Structure 1
Amino acid sequence: MAELAANHIGTSLQRVPWGIWALLPIILQAIFRRRGGYRYRSFISLVCLMISALYGVAASVTLPILGKAHLINWTVARFHKMINKRFLDIGSQVEGEENFAKDGQSAIYVCNHQTLLDIVYMGAVFPKSTSVVSKKALKYYPILGWFMILSKSIFLDRTNREGAIKQARQAAEDIHRKKTSVFIFPEGTRSGVEKVDLLPFKKGAFYMATQAKVPVIPIVVANYKEIFNPKQKHFGYGDIKIRVLPAIETKDVLEDSASIDTLANNVRDQMLTALLEISSQEDAKTK
Protein backbone atom coordinates (compact mmCIF):
# COMPACT_ATOMS: atom_id res chain seq x y z
CA MET A 1 0.00 0.00 0.00
CA ALA A 2 2.79 2.40 0.92
CA GLU A 3 4.57 1.60 -2.35
CA LEU A 4 1.41 2.32 -4.36
CA ALA A 5 0.95 5.63 -2.55
CA ALA A 6 4.55 6.62 -3.21
CA ASN A 7 4.22 5.76 -6.89
CA HIS A 8 1.02 7.78 -7.10
CA ILE A 9 2.69 10.82 -5.51
CA GLY A 10 5.69 10.47 -7.82
CA THR A 11 3.46 10.30 -10.89
CA SER A 12 1.49 13.34 -9.73
CA LEU A 13 4.68 15.36 -9.19
CA GLN A 14 5.90 14.48 -12.67
CA ARG A 15 2.72 16.00 -14.10
CA VAL A 16 3.36 19.36 -12.47
CA PRO A 17 4.35 21.84 -15.21
CA TRP A 18 8.02 22.90 -15.20
CA GLY A 19 6.95 26.52 -14.83
CA ILE A 20 5.52 25.76 -11.39
CA TRP A 21 8.85 24.25 -10.29
CA ALA A 22 10.64 27.35 -11.59
CA LEU A 23 8.34 29.60 -9.57
CA LEU A 24 8.58 27.51 -6.40
CA PRO A 25 11.71 29.23 -4.96
CA ILE A 26 10.10 32.64 -5.53
CA ILE A 27 6.88 31.51 -3.87
CA LEU A 28 8.75 30.08 -0.87
CA GLN A 29 10.82 33.24 -0.60
CA ALA A 30 7.68 35.39 -0.57
CA ILE A 31 6.12 33.21 2.13
CA PHE A 32 9.09 32.83 4.46
CA ARG A 33 11.07 36.09 4.17
CA ARG A 34 9.03 37.57 7.04
CA ARG A 35 8.76 34.33 8.97
CA GLY A 36 10.94 32.15 11.13
CA GLY A 37 12.54 32.57 14.53
CA TYR A 38 15.91 33.91 15.56
CA ARG A 39 17.91 30.77 14.71
CA TYR A 40 16.27 30.25 11.33
CA ARG A 41 16.73 33.87 10.24
CA SER A 42 20.29 33.94 11.59
CA PHE A 43 21.06 30.84 9.53
CA ILE A 44 19.56 32.40 6.39
CA SER A 45 21.59 35.55 7.07
CA LEU A 46 24.78 33.46 7.29
CA VAL A 47 23.88 31.67 4.05
CA CYS A 48 23.37 35.04 2.35
CA LEU A 49 26.77 36.18 3.62
CA MET A 50 28.53 33.09 2.28
CA ILE A 51 26.78 33.39 -1.09
CA SER A 52 27.82 37.04 -1.28
CA ALA A 53 31.41 36.14 -0.36
CA LEU A 54 31.51 33.50 -3.10
CA TYR A 55 30.11 36.04 -5.52
CA GLY A 56 32.81 38.41 -4.29
CA VAL A 57 35.56 35.90 -5.03
CA ALA A 58 34.22 35.51 -8.57
CA ALA A 59 33.87 39.29 -8.98
CA SER A 60 37.42 39.84 -7.70
CA VAL A 61 38.76 37.53 -10.38
CA THR A 62 36.60 38.61 -13.34
CA LEU A 63 36.08 42.37 -12.94
CA PRO A 64 39.80 43.29 -13.14
CA ILE A 65 39.96 41.41 -16.46
CA LEU A 66 37.12 43.63 -17.70
CA GLY A 67 38.85 46.77 -16.46
CA LYS A 68 36.26 47.24 -13.68
CA ALA A 69 38.33 46.45 -10.59
CA HIS A 70 37.04 49.62 -8.90
CA LEU A 71 33.54 48.10 -8.83
CA ILE A 72 34.40 44.91 -6.91
CA ASN A 73 33.36 46.00 -3.41
CA TRP A 74 30.47 48.12 -4.69
CA THR A 75 28.86 45.32 -6.68
CA VAL A 76 29.31 42.78 -3.86
CA ALA A 77 27.77 45.21 -1.35
CA ARG A 78 24.79 45.80 -3.66
CA PHE A 79 24.40 42.06 -4.26
CA HIS A 80 24.43 41.34 -0.52
CA LYS A 81 21.85 44.06 0.06
CA MET A 82 19.62 42.61 -2.66
CA ILE A 83 19.57 39.01 -1.45
CA ASN A 84 18.94 40.04 2.16
CA LYS A 85 15.99 42.11 1.00
CA ARG A 86 14.69 39.14 -1.01
CA PHE A 87 15.12 36.46 1.64
CA LEU A 88 14.85 38.37 4.94
CA ASP A 89 12.97 41.56 3.96
CA ILE A 90 15.68 43.74 5.48
CA GLY A 91 16.07 47.12 3.78
CA SER A 92 17.02 50.72 4.39
CA GLN A 93 16.04 54.34 3.85
CA VAL A 94 18.96 56.63 3.03
CA GLU A 95 18.99 60.39 3.44
CA GLY A 96 21.80 62.79 2.61
CA GLU A 97 23.05 60.94 -0.49
CA GLU A 98 24.07 64.30 -1.94
CA ASN A 99 26.90 64.32 0.62
CA PHE A 100 28.75 61.42 -1.02
CA ALA A 101 32.02 62.31 -2.74
CA LYS A 102 31.58 63.11 -6.41
CA ASP A 103 32.98 60.84 -9.12
CA GLY A 104 36.75 61.09 -9.23
CA GLN A 105 36.99 62.45 -5.67
CA SER A 106 38.31 60.48 -2.71
CA ALA A 107 37.10 60.42 0.89
CA ILE A 108 37.31 58.48 4.13
CA TYR A 109 33.84 57.13 4.98
CA VAL A 110 33.34 56.41 8.69
CA CYS A 111 30.31 54.48 9.93
CA ASN A 112 29.03 53.34 13.32
CA HIS A 113 29.24 49.61 14.00
CA GLN A 114 26.47 47.88 15.99
CA THR A 115 26.35 44.19 15.00
CA LEU A 116 27.29 41.84 12.17
CA LEU A 117 24.07 42.93 10.48
CA ASP A 118 25.79 46.21 9.59
CA ILE A 119 27.22 44.65 6.45
CA VAL A 120 23.66 44.33 5.11
CA TYR A 121 23.09 48.06 5.45
CA MET A 122 26.53 48.84 4.01
CA GLY A 123 25.16 47.76 0.65
CA ALA A 124 22.83 50.78 0.57
CA VAL A 125 25.60 53.34 1.08
CA PHE A 126 28.83 51.72 -0.12
CA PRO A 127 30.38 53.95 -2.83
CA LYS A 128 32.18 52.88 -5.98
CA SER A 129 36.00 52.89 -6.03
CA THR A 130 36.16 52.25 -2.30
CA SER A 131 38.22 49.83 -0.21
CA VAL A 132 37.25 48.36 3.14
CA VAL A 133 39.37 48.68 6.27
CA SER A 134 38.97 45.74 8.62
CA LYS A 135 40.66 44.02 11.51
CA LYS A 136 43.50 41.71 10.52
CA ALA A 137 41.82 38.56 11.88
CA LEU A 138 39.14 38.60 9.15
CA LYS A 139 41.66 37.77 6.43
CA TYR A 140 41.91 34.23 7.86
CA TYR A 141 38.16 33.50 7.62
CA PRO A 142 37.25 30.91 4.95
CA ILE A 143 35.56 32.39 1.85
CA LEU A 144 35.01 35.83 3.41
CA GLY A 145 38.74 36.26 3.97
CA TRP A 146 39.50 35.08 0.43
CA PHE A 147 37.19 37.72 -0.98
CA MET A 148 38.63 40.47 1.21
CA ILE A 149 42.18 39.61 0.20
CA LEU A 150 41.30 39.48 -3.51
CA SER A 151 39.37 42.77 -3.29
CA LYS A 152 42.42 44.52 -1.80
CA SER A 153 40.90 45.23 1.61
CA ILE A 154 43.10 47.10 4.08
CA PHE A 155 43.82 45.06 7.21
CA LEU A 156 44.80 46.94 10.36
CA ASP A 157 46.40 45.29 13.36
CA ARG A 158 44.77 47.36 16.09
CA THR A 159 46.87 45.70 18.78
CA ASN A 160 49.97 47.37 17.30
CA ARG A 161 49.51 51.16 17.38
CA GLU A 162 52.71 52.00 15.47
CA GLY A 163 51.95 49.34 12.89
CA ALA A 164 48.39 50.63 12.46
CA ILE A 165 49.65 54.18 11.88
CA LYS A 166 52.17 52.89 9.33
CA GLN A 167 49.41 50.96 7.54
CA ALA A 168 47.21 54.07 7.60
CA ARG A 169 50.03 56.06 5.98
CA GLN A 170 50.40 53.42 3.27
CA ALA A 171 46.64 53.51 2.69
CA ALA A 172 46.80 57.31 2.40
CA GLU A 173 49.41 56.98 -0.35
CA ASP A 174 47.21 54.45 -2.15
CA ILE A 175 44.25 56.84 -1.98
CA HIS A 176 46.15 59.35 -4.11
CA ARG A 177 47.89 56.85 -6.36
CA LYS A 178 44.77 54.77 -7.12
CA LYS A 179 42.22 57.59 -6.65
CA THR A 180 40.14 55.47 -4.28
CA SER A 181 38.15 56.04 -1.11
CA VAL A 182 38.13 54.05 2.12
CA PHE A 183 35.24 52.75 4.28
CA ILE A 184 35.98 52.11 7.96
CA PHE A 185 34.25 51.52 11.30
CA PRO A 186 36.16 53.90 13.63
CA GLU A 187 34.79 52.30 16.81
CA GLY A 188 37.01 49.32 16.00
CA THR A 189 34.49 46.76 17.26
CA ARG A 190 30.74 46.25 17.57
CA SER A 191 29.00 48.57 20.04
CA GLY A 192 25.77 46.52 20.22
CA VAL A 193 22.17 47.69 20.03
CA GLU A 194 21.22 47.71 23.72
CA LYS A 195 22.12 51.38 24.07
CA VAL A 196 21.95 54.20 21.52
CA ASP A 197 25.56 55.30 21.80
CA LEU A 198 28.99 55.20 20.17
CA LEU A 199 32.19 53.70 21.51
CA PRO A 200 35.33 55.89 21.60
CA PHE A 201 36.82 56.22 18.12
CA LYS A 202 40.12 54.67 17.09
CA LYS A 203 42.38 57.18 15.37
CA GLY A 204 43.48 55.22 12.28
CA ALA A 205 40.77 56.62 9.98
CA PHE A 206 41.64 60.19 10.96
CA TYR A 207 45.39 59.77 10.53
CA MET A 208 44.56 58.35 7.11
CA ALA A 209 42.35 61.32 6.22
CA THR A 210 44.82 63.99 7.34
CA GLN A 211 47.76 62.30 5.64
CA ALA A 212 45.80 61.96 2.38
CA LYS A 213 44.21 65.42 2.82
CA VAL A 214 40.80 64.08 1.89
CA PRO A 215 37.48 64.78 3.65
CA VAL A 216 35.87 62.55 6.25
CA ILE A 217 32.26 61.68 5.38
CA PRO A 218 30.30 60.25 8.34
CA ILE A 219 27.57 57.65 7.75
CA VAL A 220 25.16 56.97 10.61
CA VAL A 221 22.97 53.86 10.82
CA ALA A 222 20.04 54.20 13.25
CA ASN A 223 19.84 51.83 16.19
CA TYR A 224 17.94 48.77 14.94
CA LYS A 225 17.27 46.75 18.07
CA GLU A 226 13.60 46.48 17.01
CA ILE A 227 14.81 44.53 13.95
CA PHE A 228 17.80 42.65 15.33
CA ASN A 229 18.82 42.12 18.93
CA PRO A 230 21.14 39.13 19.48
CA LYS A 231 20.99 39.37 23.27
CA GLN A 232 17.21 39.06 23.23
CA LYS A 233 17.30 36.48 20.40
CA HIS A 234 15.12 38.69 18.22
CA PHE A 235 15.47 38.84 14.43
CA GLY A 236 12.66 40.63 12.61
CA TYR A 237 12.42 42.56 9.38
CA GLY A 238 11.94 46.11 8.14
CA ASP A 239 13.72 49.21 6.87
CA ILE A 240 16.18 51.23 8.92
CA LYS A 241 17.21 54.83 8.48
CA ILE A 242 20.73 55.75 7.39
CA ARG A 243 21.97 59.34 7.28
CA VAL A 244 25.00 60.54 5.30
CA LEU A 245 26.41 63.67 6.94
CA PRO A 246 28.18 66.55 5.16
CA ALA A 247 31.89 66.09 4.49
CA ILE A 248 34.38 67.32 7.10
CA GLU A 249 37.49 68.77 5.46
CA THR A 250 40.95 67.82 6.75
CA LYS A 251 43.23 69.96 4.54
CA ASP A 252 44.11 72.30 7.40
CA VAL A 253 44.28 69.64 10.12
CA LEU A 254 47.78 68.94 11.41
CA GLU A 255 49.02 65.37 11.73
CA ASP A 256 49.95 65.65 15.41
CA SER A 257 48.15 63.61 18.06
CA ALA A 258 46.22 66.54 19.56
CA SER A 259 44.83 67.64 16.20
CA ILE A 260 43.82 64.09 15.33
CA ASP A 261 42.05 63.76 18.69
CA THR A 262 40.13 66.99 18.05
CA LEU A 263 39.09 65.82 14.57
CA ALA A 264 38.01 62.38 15.81
CA ASN A 265 35.99 63.86 18.68
CA ASN A 266 34.33 66.38 16.36
CA VAL A 267 33.29 63.63 13.96
CA ARG A 268 32.06 61.44 16.82
CA ASP A 269 29.98 64.26 18.30
CA GLN A 270 28.27 64.92 14.96
CA MET A 271 27.59 61.22 14.43
CA LEU A 272 26.21 60.72 17.95
CA THR A 273 23.84 63.67 17.52
CA ALA A 274 22.58 62.21 14.24
CA LEU A 275 22.31 58.72 15.77
CA LEU A 276 20.09 59.98 18.56
CA GLU A 277 17.92 61.89 16.08
CA ILE A 278 17.21 58.98 13.73
CA SER A 279 17.00 56.13 16.24
CA SER A 280 13.52 56.75 17.61
CA GLN A 281 11.07 53.87 17.19
CA GLU A 282 8.73 56.18 15.30
CA ASP A 283 11.33 56.68 12.57
CA ALA A 284 12.19 53.00 12.04
CA LYS A 285 9.79 50.76 10.15
CA THR A 286 10.32 47.55 12.07
CA LYS A 287 8.59 44.34 12.99
Structure 2
Amino acid sequence: MAELANHFRLSLQRVPWGIWILIPIILQAIFRRRGGYFHRNLVSLLCLMVSAMYGMAAALTLPIIGKSHLINWTVSRFHKILNRRFLDIGAVVEGEENYAEEGQSAIYVCNHQTLMDIVYMGAMFPKSTSVVSKKAIKYYPILGWFMILSKSIFLDRTNREGAIKQARQAAEDIHRKKTSVFIFPEGTRSGVDKVDLLPFKKGAFYMATQAKVPIIPIVVANYKQIYDPKKKHFGYGNIKIKVLPAIETKDIDEDSASIEKLTNQVRDKMLSTLLEISEDQKTK
Protein backbone atom coordinates (compact mmCIF):
# COMPACT_ATOMS: atom_id res chain seq x y z
CA MET A 1 0.00 0.00 0.00
CA ALA A 2 2.82 2.39 0.91
CA GLU A 3 4.54 1.58 -2.37
CA LEU A 4 1.33 2.32 -4.29
CA ALA A 5 0.87 5.65 -2.47
CA ASN A 6 4.48 6.60 -3.22
CA HIS A 7 4.02 5.72 -6.89
CA PHE A 8 0.86 7.86 -7.03
CA ARG A 9 2.68 10.79 -5.39
CA LEU A 10 5.54 10.58 -7.88
CA SER A 11 3.05 10.44 -10.74
CA LEU A 12 1.41 13.64 -9.53
CA GLN A 13 4.78 15.37 -9.32
CA ARG A 14 5.38 14.60 -12.99
CA VAL A 15 2.20 16.44 -14.05
CA PRO A 16 3.22 19.79 -15.65
CA TRP A 17 2.35 22.84 -13.51
CA GLY A 18 0.24 24.22 -16.35
CA ILE A 19 -2.17 21.31 -15.98
CA TRP A 20 -2.76 22.22 -12.32
CA ILE A 21 -3.74 25.71 -13.45
CA LEU A 22 -6.05 24.41 -16.17
CA ILE A 23 -7.90 21.90 -13.96
CA PRO A 24 -9.85 24.44 -11.83
CA ILE A 25 -10.58 26.53 -14.94
CA ILE A 26 -12.00 23.51 -16.77
CA LEU A 27 -14.03 22.44 -13.72
CA GLN A 28 -15.49 25.93 -13.32
CA ALA A 29 -16.45 26.02 -17.02
CA ILE A 30 -18.21 22.66 -16.65
CA PHE A 31 -19.91 23.33 -13.30
CA ARG A 32 -20.63 27.02 -13.87
CA ARG A 33 -23.98 26.88 -12.07
CA ARG A 34 -22.40 25.56 -8.88
CA GLY A 35 -20.62 27.32 -6.05
CA GLY A 36 -21.61 29.54 -3.15
CA TYR A 37 -21.87 33.31 -2.92
CA PHE A 38 -18.21 34.03 -2.11
CA HIS A 39 -16.86 31.51 -4.60
CA ARG A 40 -18.95 32.94 -7.44
CA ASN A 41 -17.95 36.48 -6.47
CA LEU A 42 -14.32 35.43 -6.69
CA VAL A 43 -14.89 33.90 -10.14
CA SER A 44 -16.66 37.10 -11.21
CA LEU A 45 -13.71 39.20 -10.01
CA LEU A 46 -11.24 36.97 -11.87
CA CYS A 47 -13.31 37.31 -15.06
CA LEU A 48 -13.22 41.08 -14.63
CA MET A 49 -9.45 41.12 -14.15
CA VAL A 50 -8.89 38.91 -17.19
CA SER A 51 -11.15 41.19 -19.24
CA ALA A 52 -9.26 44.26 -18.02
CA MET A 53 -5.93 42.71 -19.03
CA TYR A 54 -7.39 41.84 -22.42
CA GLY A 55 -8.64 45.44 -22.54
CA MET A 56 -5.16 46.86 -22.00
CA ALA A 57 -3.90 44.77 -24.91
CA ALA A 58 -6.86 45.92 -27.05
CA ALA A 59 -6.29 49.57 -26.10
CA LEU A 60 -2.66 49.33 -27.20
CA THR A 61 -3.21 47.42 -30.45
CA LEU A 62 -6.58 48.47 -31.93
CA PRO A 63 -5.54 52.13 -32.48
CA ILE A 64 -2.64 50.87 -34.61
CA ILE A 65 -5.09 49.36 -37.12
CA GLY A 66 -7.51 52.29 -36.94
CA LYS A 67 -10.10 50.52 -34.75
CA SER A 68 -9.81 52.50 -31.53
CA HIS A 69 -13.59 53.05 -31.53
CA LEU A 70 -14.03 49.32 -30.87
CA ILE A 71 -11.89 49.11 -27.71
CA ASN A 72 -14.68 49.21 -25.14
CA TRP A 73 -17.09 47.25 -27.32
CA THR A 74 -14.73 44.32 -27.93
CA VAL A 75 -13.73 44.18 -24.25
CA SER A 76 -17.38 44.20 -23.16
CA ARG A 77 -18.20 41.34 -25.53
CA PHE A 78 -15.18 39.38 -24.29
CA HIS A 79 -16.38 39.92 -20.71
CA LYS A 80 -19.85 38.75 -21.72
CA ILE A 81 -18.39 35.48 -23.06
CA LEU A 82 -16.41 34.86 -19.86
CA ASN A 83 -19.42 35.39 -17.62
CA ARG A 84 -21.60 33.14 -19.75
CA ARG A 85 -18.95 30.42 -19.79
CA PHE A 86 -17.90 30.50 -16.13
CA LEU A 87 -21.02 31.76 -14.30
CA ASP A 88 -23.86 31.05 -16.76
CA ILE A 89 -25.00 34.67 -16.55
CA GLY A 90 -26.39 36.42 -19.61
CA ALA A 91 -28.97 38.89 -20.84
CA VAL A 92 -31.70 39.31 -23.44
CA VAL A 93 -31.48 42.78 -25.00
CA GLU A 94 -34.56 44.38 -26.56
CA GLY A 95 -34.52 47.55 -28.66
CA GLU A 96 -30.98 47.42 -30.07
CA GLU A 97 -32.32 49.19 -33.16
CA ASN A 98 -32.49 52.32 -30.97
CA TYR A 99 -28.70 52.59 -30.70
CA ALA A 100 -27.09 55.53 -32.47
CA GLU A 101 -26.27 54.76 -36.09
CA GLU A 102 -22.66 54.48 -37.21
CA GLY A 103 -21.05 57.92 -37.38
CA GLN A 104 -23.63 59.46 -35.03
CA SER A 105 -23.17 60.25 -31.33
CA ALA A 106 -25.40 59.90 -28.28
CA ILE A 107 -25.40 59.93 -24.50
CA TYR A 108 -26.39 56.53 -23.15
CA VAL A 109 -27.84 56.60 -19.63
CA CYS A 110 -28.37 53.39 -17.67
CA ASN A 111 -29.65 52.47 -14.21
CA HIS A 112 -27.08 51.30 -11.67
CA GLN A 113 -27.95 48.55 -9.17
CA THR A 114 -24.79 46.79 -7.96
CA LEU A 115 -21.23 46.05 -9.04
CA MET A 116 -22.78 43.22 -11.05
CA ASP A 117 -23.89 45.83 -13.62
CA ILE A 118 -20.48 45.54 -15.22
CA VAL A 119 -21.38 41.95 -16.14
CA TYR A 120 -24.51 43.07 -17.98
CA MET A 121 -22.73 45.95 -19.70
CA GLY A 122 -21.01 43.26 -21.74
CA ALA A 123 -24.31 42.26 -23.32
CA MET A 124 -25.50 45.73 -24.34
CA PHE A 125 -22.52 48.08 -24.55
CA PRO A 126 -22.66 49.99 -27.89
CA LYS A 127 -19.82 50.56 -30.34
CA SER A 128 -17.86 53.85 -30.51
CA THR A 129 -18.64 54.66 -26.88
CA SER A 130 -16.57 55.88 -23.94
CA VAL A 131 -17.40 55.31 -20.28
CA VAL A 132 -17.94 58.05 -17.70
CA SER A 133 -16.86 56.92 -14.25
CA LYS A 134 -16.00 58.29 -10.84
CA LYS A 135 -12.42 59.49 -10.51
CA ALA A 136 -11.51 56.92 -7.81
CA ILE A 137 -11.69 54.03 -10.30
CA LYS A 138 -8.71 55.53 -12.13
CA TYR A 139 -6.51 54.27 -9.28
CA TYR A 140 -7.78 50.65 -9.24
CA PRO A 141 -5.10 48.15 -10.33
CA ILE A 142 -5.63 46.65 -13.81
CA LEU A 143 -9.23 47.92 -14.20
CA GLY A 144 -8.14 51.54 -13.73
CA TRP A 145 -5.19 51.08 -16.08
CA PHE A 146 -7.49 49.72 -18.79
CA MET A 147 -9.97 52.58 -18.34
CA ILE A 148 -7.18 55.15 -18.68
CA LEU A 149 -5.93 53.48 -21.88
CA SER A 150 -9.47 53.28 -23.29
CA LYS A 151 -9.91 57.06 -22.84
CA SER A 152 -12.64 56.84 -20.20
CA ILE A 153 -13.93 60.12 -18.76
CA PHE A 154 -13.37 60.46 -15.01
CA LEU A 155 -15.55 62.86 -13.04
CA ASP A 156 -14.71 64.14 -9.58
CA ARG A 157 -18.14 64.19 -7.94
CA THR A 158 -16.79 65.96 -4.86
CA ASN A 159 -15.83 68.96 -6.99
CA ARG A 160 -18.97 70.37 -8.66
CA GLU A 161 -17.13 73.05 -10.65
CA GLY A 162 -14.59 70.56 -11.89
CA ALA A 163 -17.31 68.06 -12.83
CA ILE A 164 -19.18 70.69 -14.89
CA LYS A 165 -15.94 71.66 -16.63
CA GLN A 166 -15.19 67.99 -17.40
CA ALA A 167 -18.74 67.50 -18.70
CA ARG A 168 -18.26 70.48 -21.03
CA GLN A 169 -14.94 69.02 -22.22
CA ALA A 170 -16.65 65.67 -22.80
CA ALA A 171 -19.31 67.41 -24.90
CA GLU A 172 -16.55 68.88 -27.08
CA ASP A 173 -14.88 65.47 -27.39
CA ILE A 174 -18.14 63.90 -28.52
CA HIS A 175 -18.07 66.06 -31.66
CA ARG A 176 -14.32 66.07 -32.19
CA LYS A 177 -13.92 62.28 -31.85
CA LYS A 178 -17.41 61.40 -33.16
CA THR A 179 -17.94 59.19 -30.13
CA SER A 180 -20.78 58.45 -27.72
CA VAL A 181 -20.74 58.38 -23.93
CA PHE A 182 -22.12 55.84 -21.44
CA ILE A 183 -23.02 57.05 -17.94
CA PHE A 184 -24.94 55.97 -14.83
CA PRO A 185 -27.00 59.09 -13.99
CA GLU A 186 -27.85 57.85 -10.48
CA GLY A 187 -24.21 58.44 -9.63
CA THR A 188 -24.03 55.47 -7.25
CA ARG A 189 -25.53 52.01 -6.82
CA SER A 190 -29.23 51.89 -5.93
CA GLY A 191 -29.24 48.24 -4.80
CA VAL A 192 -31.56 45.39 -5.77
CA ASP A 193 -33.73 45.17 -2.63
CA LYS A 194 -36.48 47.20 -4.32
CA VAL A 195 -37.38 48.15 -7.90
CA ASP A 196 -36.66 51.87 -7.98
CA LEU A 197 -34.27 54.56 -9.21
CA LEU A 198 -32.29 57.07 -7.18
CA PRO A 199 -32.58 60.77 -8.12
CA PHE A 200 -30.56 61.47 -11.26
CA LYS A 201 -27.44 63.65 -11.33
CA LYS A 202 -27.68 66.25 -14.08
CA GLY A 203 -24.18 65.93 -15.58
CA ALA A 204 -25.26 63.61 -18.41
CA PHE A 205 -28.09 65.93 -19.36
CA TYR A 206 -25.92 69.05 -19.39
CA MET A 207 -23.48 67.08 -21.54
CA ALA A 208 -26.24 66.08 -23.99
CA THR A 209 -27.68 69.60 -24.35
CA GLN A 210 -24.22 71.13 -24.77
CA ALA A 211 -23.28 68.57 -27.43
CA LYS A 212 -26.80 68.66 -28.95
CA VAL A 213 -26.89 64.88 -29.20
CA PRO A 214 -29.77 62.56 -28.24
CA ILE A 215 -30.09 60.75 -24.94
CA ILE A 216 -30.67 57.00 -25.26
CA PRO A 217 -31.90 55.35 -22.05
CA ILE A 218 -30.94 51.74 -21.29
CA VAL A 219 -32.86 49.94 -18.55
CA VAL A 220 -31.60 46.78 -16.82
CA ALA A 221 -34.32 44.79 -15.05
CA ASN A 222 -33.99 44.25 -11.31
CA TYR A 223 -31.95 41.06 -10.91
CA LYS A 224 -32.17 40.19 -7.21
CA GLN A 225 -33.34 36.70 -8.21
CA ILE A 226 -29.81 36.24 -9.61
CA TYR A 227 -27.67 38.45 -7.40
CA ASP A 228 -28.54 39.83 -3.96
CA PRO A 229 -25.55 40.84 -1.81
CA LYS A 230 -27.69 41.40 1.31
CA LYS A 231 -28.97 37.82 1.20
CA LYS A 232 -25.59 36.49 0.05
CA HIS A 233 -27.22 35.01 -3.03
CA PHE A 234 -25.42 34.60 -6.36
CA GLY A 235 -27.29 32.48 -8.88
CA TYR A 236 -27.38 32.22 -12.66
CA GLY A 237 -29.64 32.90 -15.63
CA ASN A 238 -30.63 35.68 -18.05
CA ILE A 239 -32.07 39.09 -17.30
CA LYS A 240 -33.95 41.50 -19.53
CA ILE A 241 -32.42 44.74 -20.80
CA LYS A 242 -34.38 47.29 -22.81
CA VAL A 243 -32.96 50.08 -24.98
CA LEU A 244 -35.49 52.92 -25.26
CA PRO A 245 -35.95 55.26 -28.25
CA ALA A 246 -33.67 58.30 -28.41
CA ILE A 247 -34.76 61.56 -26.77
CA GLU A 248 -33.63 64.58 -28.81
CA THR A 249 -31.96 67.55 -27.08
CA LYS A 250 -31.37 69.91 -30.02
CA ASP A 251 -34.17 72.28 -29.01
CA ILE A 252 -33.57 72.11 -25.26
CA ASP A 253 -31.94 75.12 -23.59
CA GLU A 254 -28.98 74.71 -21.26
CA ASP A 255 -30.62 76.60 -18.38
CA SER A 256 -31.28 74.87 -15.06
CA ALA A 257 -35.07 74.63 -15.44
CA SER A 258 -34.85 72.99 -18.87
CA ILE A 259 -32.22 70.51 -17.68
CA GLU A 260 -34.35 69.69 -14.62
CA LYS A 261 -37.36 69.00 -16.85
CA LEU A 262 -35.31 66.82 -19.22
CA THR A 263 -33.79 64.89 -16.31
CA ASN A 264 -37.19 64.13 -14.81
CA GLN A 265 -38.63 63.17 -18.21
CA VAL A 266 -35.87 60.62 -18.81
CA ARG A 267 -36.03 59.27 -15.25
CA ASP A 268 -39.82 58.81 -15.43
CA LYS A 269 -39.52 56.84 -18.68
CA MET A 270 -36.76 54.66 -17.28
CA LEU A 271 -38.59 54.00 -14.03
CA SER A 272 -41.81 52.92 -15.75
CA THR A 273 -39.77 50.61 -18.02
CA LEU A 274 -37.83 49.23 -15.04
CA LEU A 275 -41.07 48.36 -13.24
CA GLU A 276 -42.46 46.76 -16.39
CA ILE A 277 -39.51 44.55 -17.33
CA SER A 278 -38.72 43.61 -13.72
CA GLU A 279 -42.31 42.38 -13.32
CA ASP A 280 -41.94 40.41 -16.57
CA GLN A 281 -38.73 38.91 -15.15
CA LYS A 282 -40.54 37.89 -11.96
CA THR A 283 -43.44 36.15 -13.70
CA LYS A 284 -41.32 33.96 -15.99
Q: TM-score, normalised by structure 2?
A: 0.93
Any idea what SS the aligned residue of 1:132 has?
Answer: strand
Letter aligned with residue 48 of structure 1: C
Letter aligned with residue 222 of structure 1: A
- Kindly indicate whether the alpha-carbon contact (under 8 Å) linking 1:240 and 1:284 is maintained by their aligned counterparts in 2: no
Structure 2 CA distance, aligned partners of 1:22 and 1:161? 47
How far 1:28 moved relative to its partner? 1.7
How far 1:238 moved relative to its partner? 0.4
Indicate how the Cα distance of structure 1 residues 180 and 34 shifts in structure 2: closer, same or farther if over 3 A, else same: same
Structure 2 CA distance, aligned partners of 1:229 and 1:93? 20
- Kindly indicate whether the alpha-carbon contact (under 8 Å) linking 2:132 and 2:182 is maintained by their aligned counterparts in 1: yes
1:86-165 pair list within 5 angstroms: 86-165=85-164
Any idea what SS the aligned residue of 2:217 has?
Answer: strand
Any idea what SS the aligned residue of 2:219 has?
Answer: strand
Taking only the aligned residue pairs, the percentage that are identical comes to 79
Any idea what SS the aligned residue of 1:280 has?
Answer: helix
Other-structure match for 1:32: 31
Other-structure match for 1:222: 221
Other-structure match for 1:169: 168
Indicate how the Cα distance of structure 1 residues 194 and 171 shifts in structure 2: closer, same or farther if over 3 A, else same: same
Any idea what SS the aligned residue of 2:249 has?
Answer: coil
Structure 2 CA distance, aligned partners of 1:26 and 1:230? 25
Is the deviation greater in 111-120 or in 5-14? Answer: 5-14
Structure 2 CA distance, aligned partners of 1:282 and 1:112? 16
- Kindly indicate whether the alpha-carbon contact (under 8 Å) linking 2:213 and 2:249 is maintained by their aligned counterparts in 1: yes
Other-structure match for 1:252: 251
Any idea what SS the aligned residue of 1:5 has?
Answer: helix
C-alpha deviations, 1:90-135, integer Å up to 9, x for none? 0000101111111111000000000000011111111111000000
- Kindly indicate whether the alpha-carbon contact (under 8 Å) linking 1:93 and 1:241 is maintained by their aligned counterparts in 2: yes
Other-structure match for 1:264: 263
Structure 2 CA distance, aligned partners of 1:56 and 1:23? 22
Indicate how the Cα distance of structure 1 residues 4 and 201 shifts in structure 2: closer, same or farther if over 3 A, else same: same
Letter aligned with residue 154 of structure 2: F
Is the deviation greater in 29-38 or in 165-174? Answer: 29-38
Are 1:2 and 2:2 counterparts?
yes
Any idea what SS the aligned residue of 1:219 has?
Answer: strand
Indicate how the Cα distance of structure 1 residues 141 and 224 shifts in structure 2: closer, same or farther if over 3 A, else same: same
Other-structure match for 1:45: 44
Structure 1 unaligned regions, length at least 5: none
Letter aligned with residue 151 of structure 1: S
Indicate how the Cα distance of structure 1 residues 238 and 267 shifts in structure 2: closer, same or farther if over 3 A, else same: same
- Kindly indicate whether the alpha-carbon contact (under 8 Å) linking 1:110 and 1:216 is maintained by their aligned counterparts in 2: yes
Structure 2 CA distance, aligned partners of 1:187 and 1:23? 40
Indicate how the Cα distance of structure 1 residues 3 and 280 shifts in structure 2: closer, same or farther if over 3 A, else same: farther
Is the deviation greater in 65-74 or in 263-272? Answer: 65-74
Segments of 4+ moved more than 6 angstroms:
12-15, 20-23
Other-structure match for 2:273: 274
